[in-house]
Amino acid sequence: MTKLLNLVDENLVFDSHAHLLDKRISMNPHVLDGVGGVICFYDPLGDDVNSFNEILKNSKVIGAAGIHPHYASDFHRLKNELLMSLELKKVMVLGEIGLDYYRDNSPRKQQRRAFIEQLKLAEKLKLPVAVHTREAFRDTMDILNEYAATRVLIHCFSEGPKEALEAVKQGCFVAFGGTLTYPGSKDLRMAAEEVPYEKLLVETDSPYLAPQPVRGRTNIPWNVRYTIETLSYIKKTTPEKIARETFKATLNFLGLEKHPNEKTMEERND
């Protein structure tokens, strides 16, 4: 990693997707070092809501809650817990939701049903959504086209340039993670070229998918800087420019105008 990347102000760095409640990183007192903002995702099936509420007290953290496609079979059992978590003051995103045809942990019909019901809920609550799609891009986009949400983010984008263009044309934000740094990610890098700054976000998906320089280790939000650096090569600009633009796009996705600190949240909820 370049020295220049180390000099990027942490207040310009926003990790748009991290699982901070995962035990592999939740006990790390420095897990939020080096970033100015993080969207922390809560899973009603496996995460403790009290721990989620506690981490939301950190001024850097914004919350997201949703039922992952892996657990779509349990959607109706978990729905009340989801609704309660969405009432927490700093929970501003419904997600991650979507379709996963790679693992098929839940039947596809149930995945689609849970996805649609949560999109309807997001529209009712006027919440943006973070979408997980794996080997299910066509069905995902067809459903998004039919069931409009306030704002949509395709998290950890894994498709090519054609699909990136389609997502942007449909109004989606697109987030790239550590996979963008992998040597074999040629199509993914071509996809990143197609995403304009106003729709471009970065993420880690911590503790998963650590970028190439730290691949195989537990991922943490600080490592989003490696993705920022890779994007600076792709876009032929500086890491600082990428950090600024992706930070701004993340705020736009969230519907915020200011840095996500406690004062901003209080002002927004007045």
CB 40 within 8 A of CB 15: no
pLDDT digits (tens, 9 = 90+) for 145-173: 999 778 999 999 999 999 999 999 999 99
Of all residues in the chain, what percent carry a pLDDT higher than 70? Answer: 93
Strands (DSSP E) along the chain, which ranges? 14-18, 37-42, 61-65, 91-100, 129-134, 152-154, 173-176, 200-202
Pair 115, 99: CB distance under 8 Å: yes
Mean pLDDT, rounded, for 181-208: 98
Q: Check: CB of residue 141 under 8 Å from CB of residue 167.
A: yes
Residue 126 has pLDDT above 90, yes or no: yes
pLDDT, average across residues 112-137: 98
Burial class (CB in 10 A: 0-12, 13-18, 19+), 259: middle
Which fold, 3-269? TIM Barrel (3.20.20)
SS3 201: strand
Other C-beta atoms closer than 10 Å to the C-beta of 265 total: 18
Please give the share of the chain, as a percent, with pLDDT higher than 90. Answer: 88
How high is the pLDDT of residue 258?
Answer: 78
Average pLDDT, the chain: 93
pLDDT digits (tens, 9 = 90+) for 244-266: 999 999 999 999 987 656 444 44
Name the amino acid, one letter, at 73.
Answer: S
The answer to whether residues 156 and 177 touch, using CB atoms and an 8 Å cutoff, is yes
Residue 270 has pLDDT above 50, yes or no: no
CA dist 78 and 177 (Å) reads: 28
What's the CA gap between 131 and 4, in Å, rounded?
A: 32
Chain center to CA of 177: 9
Closest to 6 in 3D by CA, of 151, 223, 194, 220: 223
Q: What are the structure tokens assigned to 59, written together?
A: 């001024």
pLDDT digits (tens, 9 = 90+) for 45-93: 999 999 999 999 999 999 999 999 999 999 999 999 999 999 999 999 9
Q: Are 174 and 168 in contact (CB under 8 A)?
A: yes
Q: Domain limits of the chain?
A: 3-269
